[in-house]
Amino acid sequence: MFPIFSGAKGFVTFIDDCTRMTWVYLLKRKADVSHIFPNFTKMIKNQFGVSIKGIRTNNARDYFNKILSPYFEKEGIIHQSSCVNTP
């Protein structure tokens, strides 16, 4: 799918609702989101001096694994997901 990006087979985007600032991370596996999101959170806290209060996802159950759900709870991040079968 992305032959020039050294094995990336997908991507995840993080979009700030207020500023519409967008970050794109290439993924080799969907499970990589479990490692990318905590690092992304640290980068936001370090660069902008703010913490992420909430996250909205598209109801992709791949992301609600044993790593991210406890991470959201530990960090106090409110997780919202879209309704089933909606974009």
Kindly report, residue by residue over 44-81, the tens digit of the pLDDT.
999 999 999 999 887 766 666 677 888 999 999 998 88
pLDDT of amino acid 54: 93
Residues 79 and 56: their CA atoms lie apart, in Å, by 6
CB 36 within 8 A of CB 60: no
Sorted by where each starts, the structural domains of the chain and their CATH numbers stand as 10-81 (3.30.420.10)
Residues 11 and 27: their CA atoms lie apart, in Å, by 5
pLDDT band at 83 (very low <50, low <70, confident <90, very high): confident
Q: What's the chain's average pLDDT?
A: 84
pLDDT of amino acid 2: 46
